[in-house]
Structure 1
Amino acid sequence: MFEICVEHTFSAGHALRDYHGKCENVHGHNYRVQVAIEGPELDQHGLLYDFAELKKRLRATSEYLDHQFINDLQPFDQVNPSAENIAKFICEEIQKDLESASISYVKVWETDASCAVYRP
């Protein structure tokens, strides 16, 4: 099995609903996202997937969230905008367009020391 990873950053604000603690208040993060895809075979060029294409897909998904109040965006107007749910959202958006590989995980860091991982 082969695996490649790309990372991208974006900044956004959010507030956790029905949560009792500091994070129920509006606050922001400089998020770092890592997406890893895996597959059993390489293409004729010896690649699992083009890094540039995967970065492009991650950037496009991140742009939707960048410099926004995430609670106002779909699906986060209905789903709590936790790091876990953001990771799942990014995974589902990127997986829509992948044909030759599948996502093995998405990591979303809210801080240098705290991240959530979603594995489909």
Structure 2
Amino acid sequence: MLQQIYPQVSHHFQYELNKDMQIAAAHFIPHEAAGKCANIHGHTYFVNITVAGDELDDSGFLVNFQHLKKLVHDKFDHTLMNDHKELFNHQNSSDFPTTEVVARKIWEIVQNYLDTLPNQPKCLQVFVRETPTSYVVYRPKAGKQ
């Protein structure tokens, strides 16, 4: 995987971890204004998830990297994003599988998992690169963390 620097999040936590992953997936944007993107097409998405917290778990991890990979990579790799009906739909533009929405949905998946952990880490941001020249960063508003 290409090593790169991601936008940094200012925070007060003692620990920060970042998990990179590559996801090969297809999607289409169900809207007439999407132009060519209304057709099914694929990307090799580069995803970076930033998690922070003050307490480590019983195994000495803030969060196990394998769990993040299972939550995101194993769910989306080699799939059609639009087929994930529990996340995306064709009626509400806030749920179209655009890169912006994909980043937000990944944050929701990760944060929902983190909320179950006793050490309560927080997902600070999700970075999704769709193409070599286009990426999105999703950060929750204060109070959502």
Q: Report the TM range for the smaller structure's normalisation.
A: 0.7 to 0.9
Q: Partners in 1 of 2:56 and 2:68 — Cα distance?
A: 19
Which of 101, 106, 114 is matched with 1:85 structurally? 101
**8 A contact 2:19–2:68 mirrored in 1:** no
Q: Counterpart in 2 of 1:112?
A: 132
The yes-or-no answer on 1:36 pairing with 2:37 is no
Query: Aligned-pair RMSD on alpha carbons?
Result: 2.1
Superposition deviation, residue 43 in structure 1: 3.5
Give the secondary structure class of the aligned counterpart of 2:127: strand
Q: Partners in 2 of 1:26 and 1:17 — Cα distance?
A: 10
Q: Partners in 1 of 2:130 and 2:34 — Cα distance?
A: 18
Structure 1 residues 58, 91: closer, same or farther in 2, change over 3 A?
A: farther
Aligned length: 116
- What's the TM-score once normalised by structure 2's chain length? 0.70
Superposition deviation, residue 94 in structure 1: 1.1
Could you say which structure has the greater relative contact order, defined with CA pairs below 8 angstroms and 6 or more residues apart? 1
Q: Counterpart in 2 of 1:14?
A: 27
Q: Counterpart in 2 of 1:101?
A: 121
The runs of at least 4 aligned residues of structure 1 exceeding 3 Å deviation read: 42-45
**Aligned letter for 1:4?**
L
- Where does the alignment leave 5 or more consecutive residues of structure 1 unmatched? none
Which of 67, 71, 76 is matched with 1:60 structurally? 71
Q: Partners in 2 of 1:87 and 1:44 — Cα distance?
A: 26
Structure 1 residues 5, 22: closer, same or farther in 2, change over 3 A?
A: same
Q: Counterpart in 1 of 2:8?
A: none
Superposition deviation, residue 44 in structure 1: 8.3
The yes-or-no answer on 1:71 pairing with 2:100 is no
Which deviations, in whole Å up to 9, do the C-alpha atoms of 1:7-51 show, x marking residues without a partner? Answer: 011111111111332211111000111000122x24389x6714x
Give the secondary structure class of the aligned counterpart of 1:97: helix
**8 A contact 1:3–1:48 mirrored in 2:** no
Superposition deviation, residue 65 in structure 1: 1.4
Q: Partners in 1 of 2:130 and 2:67 — Cα distance?
A: 21
**Bigger strand share:** 1
